[in-house]
Amino acid sequence: MATFGELSVPRDWEAFYSTGGTIGKDPVFVVRHYAHLLPPGPFLDLAGGTGRNALFVAQSGREVLLLERSRAAVAAARAAAGGLPLTARVWDLEKGLPEGLAGFAGVLMSYYVQRSLLSHFPALLVNGGLALVEGFGRAEAKRRGRAGSPHYWEEGELLLPPLGMRLLAGGEGAWGGRWRQWAVWQKAP
């Protein structure tokens, strides 16, 4: 595990989750404040870890599909789901998305940066569907001494949605002592 300031970031996510590690229990800002705007339909959580965001959305009765590379994290999400409408599946997003995914009211990508997935969001979403994106920004990378890392959003990057989407809300700044960025994009009806 590498330490950057006061935050420790695992290098091996499978080992991290296998030993009971968790990133947090509360959903991220963009989910807490914007999930209520989702149109009816299922929700897709990309790189969802142990399911903190997926569980929050599933508690409203909405079907949720969580994709996560770590088998231990998927097992933890399944165990936490109980009878909630949450399906957690092991999937390595660095190899792309599973075939045939479509028809989602919402897609979430939080604290995982894979820019190549963004162009797929319009095809994943129903008309009027929302993409919720949140993560650390470049200023946070600099603060941690990782200025060249590709795992951080560039300044203003999330305020420019992919083709076929429009920005509904977004922002960036320091909160909780870390520089973060977030956006809500809507698939153009």
Residue 40 or 16, more confident: 40
Q: In 3D, which of 145, 164, 165, 157 has the Cα closest to residue 181?
A: 157
Chain segment 24-35, per-residue pLDDT in tens: 789 999 999 999
Give residue 58's identity as a one-letter amino acid code.
A
Query: What would the mean pLDDT of 36-57 be, rounded to a whole number?
Result: 96
Query: What would the mean pLDDT of 32-52 be, rounded to a whole number?
Result: 95
Domain boundaries in the chain? Answer: 2-187
CATH code for the part of the protein at 2-187: 3.40.50.150
Chain segment 109-139, per-residue pLDDT in tens: 999 999 999 999 999 999 999 999 999 999 9
Give residue 163's identity as a one-letter amino acid code.
L
| Whole-angstrom distance, CA of residue 8 vs CA of residue 2 | 6
List CB contacts of 113: < 8 A, sequence separation 6 or more.
Answer: 135, 150, 151, 152, 153
10 Å CB burial of residue 102 (0-12, 13-18, 19+) is exposed
User: Which residue in the block uniquely carries the two structure tokens 């045939």?
Assistant: 100
Give residue 147's identity as a one-letter amino acid code.
A
| Whole-angstrom distance, CA of residue 91 vs CA of residue 18 | 17
What's the chain's Rg over C-alpha atoms?
Answer: 16
Q: What SS3 class is residue 86?
A: strand
Give residue 170's identity as a one-letter amino acid code.
G
What is the per-residue pLDDT for 53? 97
| Whole-angstrom distance, CA of residue 96 vs CA of residue 27 | 25
| Whole-angstrom distance, CA of residue 91 vs CA of residue 105 | 20
